[in-house]
């Protein structure tokens, strides 16, 4: 079977890309969502070397693999954003299950390595499911190594608010007696509410185990961290001390699956240790139940024990996790073409 690797032909390719990517994503995407995300991006990248000789700036490289009938069988997206760690790139590569074992992933990975080498990048980061042992083995053969692990957890809401006990309610009552108010972002004055939320969240990024690079600027944070699929200001739960934003939990709702996702939860450093994160999580459960969600899902770094402990107490159960893996660009380029013939579909680096 013959395949051709080519640049994207948009908007026609969006449907095919979504179909391939949905084989790996926890929540489905659509052609419309992909087009909307593209509309937020720059039209022309800008890369440069910093004083230390490390790549900075922003750009992206995308390719699809198509068969003789024009069906998209694989998708590659390698990129860096202005806030990405100097010298680094991020990478998404997925091959449709129907076309694995044909060398498509290997060919796409070679394209990525060639582009990365040409622009002077030093390393590529990506992720792979921790229960996908075959893909992990191929990744290691391709020059990647495990850097860290994150866990995906879910709270089943089919039976209502069982996780929010009387003791949980007492936490909220205590905080309210101490002057902490809980509202939604939609309740706040529209003109400055997103900026105040950014000023709360941005300094906490560096507290996340495994966070790389620098926090994004306000505009990029709005586009990529706040207003993703399923966002609504009514689904951002705030903790206030007077008018000061001291904690928040941003939830996204996906109508197709009736699932709710915890995009981000944080508490200002001056207010930690008081149970605010737990209260925000409880209020999130109540919000999800009112919305009609069937489950709440979240991802946490394996070393983020405080947040993992909160989730366990509320009844979240662990699902499969993901490894973040990284590879030196030179090592990836050298390894490309040296995979065993039985494992030639390097459909390994895939974000979900």
With b for 16 or more beta-carbon neighbours within 10 A and e for fewer, the 160-196 pattern comes to: eeebbeeebeebbeebeeeebebebbeebeeeebbeb
Say whether both 244 and 334 belong to one domain.
no
- Whole-number pLDDT of residue 337: 53
Consecutive H or E run containing 305? helix 305-313
Do 179 and 130 lie in a common domain? no
Residue 304 confidence (pLDDT)? 86
Does some domain include residue 205?
Answer: yes
> CB of 323 within 8 A of CB of 149?
yes
Domain of 70, CATH number, reads 3.40.630.30
Lowest mean pLDDT among 29-33, 36-40, 68-72: 36-40
Structural domain harbouring 213: 164-314
Same domain for 215 and 289?
A: yes
Angle, CA of 290, 316 and 350, to the nearest 5°: 100
108 and 40 in a common domain: yes
| Whether residues 44 and 114 fall in one domain | yes
State yes or no: pLDDT of 133 exceeds 80. Answer: yes
For residue 339, what pLDDT is reported? Answer: 39
| Whole-structure pTM value | 0.84
Locate tokens 């909307």: which residue? 36
Distance between CA atoms of 250 and 262, rounded to whole angstroms?
6
Among 25-34, 82-91, 286-295, 306-315, whose mean pLDDT is lowest?
306-315
One DSSP character per residue, 32-84 reads HHHHHHHHTS-SS-EEEE-TTS-EEEEEEEEEEEEETT--EEEEEEEEE-TTS
């Amino acid at each position: 079977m013959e395949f051709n690797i080519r640049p994207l032909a948009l908007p026609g390719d969006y449907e095919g890309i979504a179909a391939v990517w949905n084989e790996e994503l926890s929540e489905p995407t659509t052609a419309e969502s992909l087009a909307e995300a593209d509309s937020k991006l720059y039209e022309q990248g800008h890369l440069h070397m910093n004083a230390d000789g490390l790549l900075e700036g922003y750009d992206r490289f995308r390719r699809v693999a198509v068969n003789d009938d024009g069906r998209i069988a694989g998708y590659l997206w390698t990129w860096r954003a202005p806030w990405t760690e100097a010298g680094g790139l991020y990478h998404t590569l997925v091959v449709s299950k129907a076309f694995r074992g044909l060398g498509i992933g290997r060919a796409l990975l070679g394209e990525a390595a060639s582009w990365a080498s040409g622009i002077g990048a030093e390393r590529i980061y990506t992720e792979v499911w921790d229960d996908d042992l075959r893909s992990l083995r191929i990744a290691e053969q391709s020059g990647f190594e495990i850097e860290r692990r994150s866990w995906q957890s879910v709270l089943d809401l089919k039976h209502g608010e069982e996780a929010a006990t009387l003791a949980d309610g007492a936490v909220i009552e205590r905080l309210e007696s101490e002057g902490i108010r809980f509202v939604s972002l939609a309740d706040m004055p529209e003109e400055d509410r997103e900026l105040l939320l950014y000023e709360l969240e941005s300094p906490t990024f560096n507290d996340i185990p495994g966070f790389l690079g620098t926090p994004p600027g306000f505009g990029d944070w709005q586009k990529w961290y706040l207003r993703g699929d399923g966002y609504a200001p009514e689904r951002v739960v705030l903790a206030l001390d007077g008018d000061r934003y001291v904690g928040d939990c941003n939830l996204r709702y996906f109508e197709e699956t009736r699932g709710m996702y915890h995009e981000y939860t944080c508490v200002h450093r001056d207010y930690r240790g008081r149970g605010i994160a737990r209260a925000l999580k409880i209020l999130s459960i109540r919000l999800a139940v009112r919305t009609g969600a069937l489950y709440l899902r979240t991802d946490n770094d394996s070393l983020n024990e405080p947040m993992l402990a909160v989730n366990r107490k509320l009844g979240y159960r662990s699902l499969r996790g993901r490894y973040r893996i990284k590879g030196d660009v030179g090592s990836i380029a050298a390894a490309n073409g040296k995979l065993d013939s039985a494992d030639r579909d390097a459909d390994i680096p895939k974000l979900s």
